[in-house]
């Protein structure tokens, strides 16, 4: 049996994440008090959806240490909803911030939320998604 000499070589595989997230913050809606303030029919808040810390996630998309967007993921069959912060600029949101925001469904219903941003999101200790 003949063998052929092959020059050794090193191959390096570069890890390229599909989305880099420096900040993984969450905020739970103060659902009980929010229900006391809602007036639109069919708009309610509960602990299992907007009241869960891991259902509203604040993202730092460009890794500059500032919040860029916030979404609600754990809706009751409405899919992911964009969150629109009303009491401050999204870039000023940080851990400990008290924020007010609203979400809007495709059918026109609007939910008004408020809560305090926290550092850790349950079930997502290292990344938001």
If we measure between CA atoms, which residue out of 54, 55, 69, 85 comes closest to residue 21?
A: 69
Q: Residues 42, 48, 50, 55: what is their CA dihedral angle, to the nearest 10 degrees?
A: -140
Beta pairing, strands 69-72 & 81-85: antiparallel
Distances (CA, A) of 66 to 22, 69, 91: 9, 10, 5
Q: How confident is the model at residue 129 (pLDDT cuts 50, 70, 90)?
A: very low
CB 127 within 8 A of CB 23: no
Q: What pairs with residue 100 in β-bridges?
A: 114
CB 68 within 8 A of CB 62: yes
> Model confidence over 63-114: pLDDT tens digits?
788 889 999 998 989 999 999 999 999 999 988 999 999 999 999 999 999 9
Q: What are phi and psi of 31, to 5 degrees?
A: -60, -40
Q: How confident is the model at residue 16 (pLDDT cuts 50, 70, 90)?
A: low
> Model confidence over 22-41: pLDDT tens digits?
456 889 999 999 999 999 99
Higher pLDDT, residue 9 or 114: 114
Q: For residues 115 and 61, give the distance between their C-alpha atoms in angstroms, rounded to a whole number.
A: 22
């Amino acid at each position: 049996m003949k063998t052929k000499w092959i020059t050794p070589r090193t191959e390096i595989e570069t890890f390229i994440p599909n989305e880099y997230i420096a900040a993984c913050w969450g905020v739970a809606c103060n659902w009980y008090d929010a229900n006391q303030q809602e007036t639109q029919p069919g708009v309610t808040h509960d602990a299992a959806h907007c009241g869960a810390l891991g259902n509203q996630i604040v993202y730092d998309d460009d890794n500059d240490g500032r919040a860029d967007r916030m979404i609600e993921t754990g809706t009751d069959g409405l899919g992911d909803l964009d969150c629109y912060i009303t009491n401050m600029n999204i870039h000023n949101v940080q851990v400990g911030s008290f924020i007010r925001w609203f979400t809007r469904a495709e059918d026109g219903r609007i939910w008004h939320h408020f809560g305090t941003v926290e550092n850790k999101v349950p079930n997502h200790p290292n990344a938001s998604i």
